Amino acid sequence: MDRPKLPLDDAFLDLGQHCNNCGKRNWGGEKPKRCGGCGVVVYCDRECQRAAWKAHRLLCRSAPEKDTSLSKELGYATPMALGMALGEWLRIHAWSLNTLVDSSVYLGGGIDTLLSPRQPAFFMVLSPKHATANDGNPAEAFEIFTYSIMREGDYPTLRELWGKMEAQYDAVARTLRAQGFFNEPIFGGLLPAMYVIPEIGVCVFQTHAILRFPILHVKDDPQDERTRAAF
């Protein structure tokens, strides 16, 4: 059984296809309202646009100069452009990131220990390079600053983002459950992830599938020194 291809957060990979506030996708004969600042995201109406502005202002080119100056210094027109570059970086390194998540789960006590009783999440802080660094190679646009397994409450400043991450996680879980993926014998669970660039205020969410690989010589909870060193 192969690991399912799970979506990244719609915020950067499905732009303009859903309301940036409530998530609505089907407007019937009505036309959604497009943001005049970035020209990318859309809203059901002005009420949805006003409700989402506090978060979207960090990504929109119509935001105050102080909110966009750092992204421009890095060679990106707006924080949203930088966020889209992050989405591309995550796609390119999907296999490596899945492996990193797996090892973090095993080192955290194993699948059963880590995924109960409270839902944890994988948290990674990234540092952006200049857009022209390494000849603009999208695979080298970011450096990993730190990563860890966290639980809600570990970082109070991320409380609002945690709710949005869980909403994306719930949507993925519903889809996979309907497809019967939860009934597969090697399915261990889902782990939501948050990839953050704190200097810019950009965050991308992803949900990783944790599998119980049928490899007899690998323990579910590898605590011996040699195995931990390998991870």
Q: Is residue 26 part of a domain?
A: no
The count of domains in the chain is 1
Spatial neighbors of 115 by CB under 8 A, at least 6 apart, are 188, 189, 191, 210
pLDDT at 100: 92
> How many CB atoms lie under 10 A from the CB of residue 173?
17
Q: Is residue 43 part of a domain?
A: no
The range of the structural domain enclosing residue 94 comes to: 65-230
Q: Is residue 19 part of a domain?
A: no
Q: Is residue 13 part of a domain?
A: no
State residue 64 phi and psi, 5-degree precision: -55, 150
Which of 213, 218, 231 has its CA nearest to residue 2? 213
Q: Is residue 85 part of a domain?
A: yes
Q: Is residue 44 part of a domain?
A: no
Q: Is residue 83 part of a domain?
A: yes
pLDDT 10s digits, 127-183: 888 888 778 899 999 999 999 898 887 776 677 778 888 888 888 888 888 888 888
Q: Residues in the chain with pLDDT < 70? A: 1-17, 38-40, 58-68, 117-118, 156-157, 201, 214-224, 226-231
pLDDT at 11: 39
Q: Which two tokens stand for residue 143?
A: 């450096």
Q: Is residue 119 part of a domain?
A: yes
